[in-house]
Amino acid sequence: MELSLAGRRALVTGAGKGIGRSTVQALHAAGAQVVAVSRTQADLDSLVRECPGVEPVCVDLGDWEATERALGGVGPVDLLVNNAAVALLQPFLEVTKEACDTSFDVNLRAVIQVSQIVARGLIARGAPGSIVNVSSQASQRALTNHSVYCSTKGALDMLTKVMALELGPHQIRVNALNPTVVMTPMGQANWSDPQKAKTMLDRIPLGKFAEVENVVDTILFLLSDRSSMTTGSTVPVDGGFLAT
């Protein structure tokens, strides 16, 4: 399936590691111009060495003013992947204000801010666009110690729908992607305990976690014109977890 992403300009947040980094690499390979946003300069430096031509932007998206300074003049963007997120896991009775603030600042507020910047540019140019918000199966299922994380992702799913409603008339599509555990280096580290992994795998009909390419392939499809009639959707990449 030809996705025709060559020549488009894409912005990816959380681009330094994991899903975000692999998305940048895939978009670059497909001929897109990519703006890679990460809070870690060393990750951006190595990414630019791997993918010459990628435009690095180092900023902490939890800082509204710094994000405005860093991205306010980013220029025309056709495609946006809101991937940056934090997962601060605490039992409900031990949830802290700091965990709430940081989680909602990065996982939700930054999505609003970056999407506003990109969408305003698209509307000013009269150009169509596509936005993909990387959510989680945790938006729709309760997981122990994930009260704040689940809440941010539940909010992200609803934000996606409202963005789709309001931006649709401008021909800007907005979809969310809801993966299960993904075998990034972080995913492998967090789920290396066989007993812990078994509790989750037993709830996944396909009996396996997602590979990074499973997620990236779906992101690229949702960015491309091949999904031109899809907006306001939450697309599971979860091996059937949400069907159980």
**How far is residue 154's CA from residue 58's CA, in Å, rounded to a whole number?**
27
Angle at 1 between CA 31 and CA 159, to 5 degrees: 75
Verify whether residue 97 is a known catalytic residue.
Answer: no
Q: Which DSSP symbol is given to 146?
A: B
> By C-alpha distance, which of 243, 201, 179, 199 is closest to 23?
179
Q: Please answer whether residues 149 and 88 qualify as being in contact, where contact means their C-beta atoms are separated by less than 8 angstroms.
A: yes
CA dihedral sign of residues 57, 81, 76, 3: positive
Q: Please answer whether residues 129 and 119 qualify as being in contact, where contact means their C-beta atoms are separated by less than 8 angstroms.
A: yes
**How far is residue 222's CA from residue 74's CA, in Å, rounded to a whole number?**
22
Q: Phi and psi for 129 in degrees, rounded to 5?
A: -160, 175
Instruction: List the catalytic residue out of 17, 97, 153, 196.
Output: 153
Instruction: List the catalytic residue out of 17, 97, 149, 198.
Output: 149
**How far is residue 48's CA from residue 46's CA, in Å, rounded to a whole number?**
5
Verify whether residue 149 is a known catalytic residue.
Answer: yes
**How far is residue 100's CA from residue 113's CA, in Å, rounded to a whole number?**
18
- 10 backbone φψ class: left, alpha, beta (φ>0; ψ -120 to 50): beta
3-state secondary structure of 40: coil
| Catalytic residue numbers, as ranges | 149, 153
